[in-house]
Structure 1
């Protein structure tokens, strides 16, 4: 009986610590969400890296994104994507082609850059993970595990700057062993933006083929 009670005590303590860690993680994630929503606009320079040892894949790319509410301009891998709040414009200079489509928020794949900063608000179990010192910045990691068993991702590690409450990096680990890392090199807020920042001007692309998908 004494041994049984000791085991129960250990299990209870373990569960209590897990609950505390989960609550700490939720509190920090809530602070990140609140901080993101407090800005009138956000400009980010980032590095994107993907690796898969099984497929001998190792690639790196850089990108930029400017966001205001749900509107954005994303430059990544030679493609510019503009969302003006109603339509999405994919501009591909290499092919001199532009595709235009309506935004449907009910589609599962309709994920905007602004949502990427708050994606963790639902669909994950989370826990407190390691803390690292990155060039004098205290980065706290939160482990996110998708609740959907069909999700191809095993887990996500979200690195958060404890002082600024900004996301520093994201490490996504796939069930197939693949890894995607997004690192924020520059995070600027409330910048002066042109009134036409999120407006697509067809006159800028006179020789482009325009494909209207809707």
Structure 2
């Protein structure tokens, strides 16, 4: 009997989520995921800005933080905030070049805090969010369609995600995360290259090489 009740509740909740989703928004993100996911690999250069109206922080108060990332299936090599994050599909290596320290953890970073990690960039929207078409904006000569994603989990640290899709290329152009503390983090893609010739060991951690450079490995 408990199994029947559990199944009923599961189907009921699923039907609620589906009814709240905008089919056109879901179809658009599916098309973007399919196109970008078909590339052998991707190189993305991005800039990050932060704003918080309640704290009086405006988006242009400070220079944007810049970063780069190579993506290949679930693997990635991210350079961000002076650190390199290398995920080989099984382990994550966080390399602090200033301190010459490296931390290693099994599996990718946890998404429990609501942050969207690189390995989930093209798929995160498929579970845990309701979707709705937003506004269309013209920027830098591009026509950008925004999709608003609201987490189903009311305790999520992220209360809203806005994805800006370039309607000409069907690529992600911008990602805006609004936190529970009203802070807004905006990632804008400034460079994009696909299907680059990468070496076989591009996503492999060179332990011996770092040891020879006197890095401390936790």
The two structures have a TM-score, normalised by structure 1, of: 0.82
Verify the 8 A CA contact 2:151 2:159 in the aligned structure 1: yes
Mapping of 1:11-22 within 5 angstroms?
A: 22=22
Mapped partners of 1:31, 1:102: distance in 2: 31
1:153 to 1:112, Cα distance in 2 relative to 1, 3 A: closer
- Larger-gyration structure (1/2): 1
Helix, strand or coil at the partner of 2:43: strand
Q: Which runs of 5+ in 2 are unaligned?
A: 1-18
Mapped partners of 1:29, 1:159: distance in 2: 10
2:88 to 84, 89, 93: 84
Aligned length: 193
The two structures have a TM-score, normalised by structure 2, of: 0.80
Helix, strand or coil at the partner of 2:22: helix
Q: Does 1:96 align with 2:103?
A: no
CA deviation digits over 1:38-89, x for unaligned, max 9? 1111110011112224445555311111011111111000000111122111
Q: Which runs of 5+ in 1 are unaligned?
A: 1-18
2:187 to 182, 185, 189: 182
Shift of 1:99: 1.0
Question: How large is the RMSD of aligned CA atoms in angstroms?
Answer: 2.3
Mapped partners of 1:54, 1:99: distance in 2: 35
1:64 to 1:29, Cα distance in 2 relative to 1, 3 A: same
Mapped partners of 1:185, 1:107: distance in 2: 25
Q: Does 1:129 align with 2:129?
A: no
